[in-house]
Amino acid sequence: MKNLLCYASGASILAISLTVGLAGNANAAALQGRVGINPPGEDGVESGVVFTGTGIIDPNGNPLTDFDFTPPTGGDVGAVVEINANPFNGFDDFASFVGNNGTIQDVTAEELLALGGLDDTFTPTGEPTPIPNFIEFPDAFSFTLEGVSAPQYSFNSGDTTVTISAFGKFINLSDGSLDESNGRGTFSVDFAGKSIAETRALFDMPGEVPDEFNPGTWSSNFVAFSDNPPEVVPEASNLLGLLAVGLVGSGSLFKRKIGSRK
């Protein structure tokens, strides 16, 4: 399983809250509504995400990681389940898919940077590279990941949460139309008993894997919309791709750690 890049910079990468806007009902062309997507949580089966450090540090001092969603460990995708659905703009098109099983692609830090057309030094390399079928529920819907924000870290009651905002397109697979709607959301992970500094230190070296959070738990919520976006969406200035473009030539702001921590 490829690893999903975790910006340990202030957002535990695993709470995804996305807003997908689609018009009509569950059988209509474009889907619209709120949807929560989590690991399956089967009894006796470890589920979550495995973080692996890359040594890439973003301009805010946050380490970027690869993400391997489990189960299974290894491979290219992890298992997910739609846990809930709620109305948005009067539409609740995801309600009929609650309980469905799907997949989420493992992602590397370099693949996430490529969403903004950047390499691992924040140097533009060309056109952005979206990730089709990043999340897929057969015969229901898929989500094409088009961009992410820099991670945000928050500390509360002795725990640190890392959150990354995401945006892209939801595609209706339920009626064969393949119609698209806009998607916004967040992906969050909790690191119990860790300060922000301690959380960053878990995976700030190349190949470093935090055994006590292996796998780490995550959650996500999405909103799909066609015309009126949700109130909380990533600010353009915080989107990884745009942020990186603004840092072109600032090599000292983005670096790769080499060697072991002293």
The reply to whether 9 falls in a domain is no
Task: List the helix and strand counts (H, then E) for the chain.
Answer: 3, 13
Strand pairing of 48-57 and 33-38? unpaired
Give how many domains the chain has, as a whole number: 1
pLDDT at 26: 41
Helix (H) / strand (E) element for 168: namely strand 159-172
Alpha-helical regions (H) of the chain:
109-114, 196-201, 240-245
Answer for the pair 233, 46: CB distance below 8 angstroms, yes or no. no
Of the two residues 176 and 133, the one the predictor is more confident about is 133
Model confidence at 31, in pLDDT bands (50, 70, 90)? very high
pLDDT tens digits for 37-77? 999 977 667 789 999 999 999 888 889 999 999 988 878 99
Indicate if the pLDDT at residue 174 is higher than 50.
Answer: yes
The reply to whether 67 falls in a domain is yes
Please give the residue range of the domain that contains residue 205. Answer: 15-248
* Dihedral pair phi/psi, residue 174, rounded to 5°: -80, -25
For 12, the 3-state DSSP assignment is coil
What count of other Cβ atoms lies within 10 Å of the Cβ of residue 157?
5
The reply to whether 253 falls in a domain is no
pLDDT at 127: 86
Cβ-in-10-Å burial (0-12, 13-18, 19+) of 124 comes to middle
The reply to whether 47 falls in a domain is yes
pLDDT at 43: 67
Give the mean pLDDT of 111-133.
91
pLDDT tens digits for 6-16? 433 333 333 33
The reply to whether 151 falls in a domain is yes
The reply to whether 209 falls in a domain is yes
